[in-house]
Amino acid sequence: MRHRVILLIGLAATLAGCSLIGGDTANGGLGDTSWTVVSIAGQPTIPDARPTMAFTPEGAVSGSGGCNQYSGSFHTDGDRITIGPVSSTLMGCEDERGRQETAFLAGLQGATTWRQAQDGNLVLEGAGEIVAQPGLAEGPPGAMGSD
pLDDT in tens, the chain (147 residues): 554 434 334 433 333 333 445 444 456 679 899 999 999 999 999 999 999 999 999 999 999 999 999 999 999 999 999 998 999 998 888 889 999 999 999 999 999 999 999 999 999 999 889 999 999 876 444 444 333
Q: Tell me what pLDDT residue 97 has.
A: 94
Domains by residue range for the chain, with CATH: 20-134 (2.40.128.270)
Q: What is the DSSP string of 25-92?
A: -GGGGTTTEEEEEEEETTEEPPGGG--EEEE-TTSEEEEE-SSSEEEEEEEEETTEEEEEEEEE----
Which residues touch 104 (CB under 8 Å, ≥6 apart)?
Answer: 37, 40, 45, 51, 65, 66, 130
Cα 47 to Cα 45: distance, rounded to the nearest angstrom? 6
Q: What's residue 1's pLDDT?
A: 53
Strands 43-44 and 33-40: antiparallel
What is the H or E stretch that residue 124 is in? strand 122-125
CA distances from residue 94 to 55, 66, 97, 99, 129 in whole angstroms, order as listed: 27, 10, 5, 8, 23
Cβ-contact 95, 109 below 8 angstroms: no
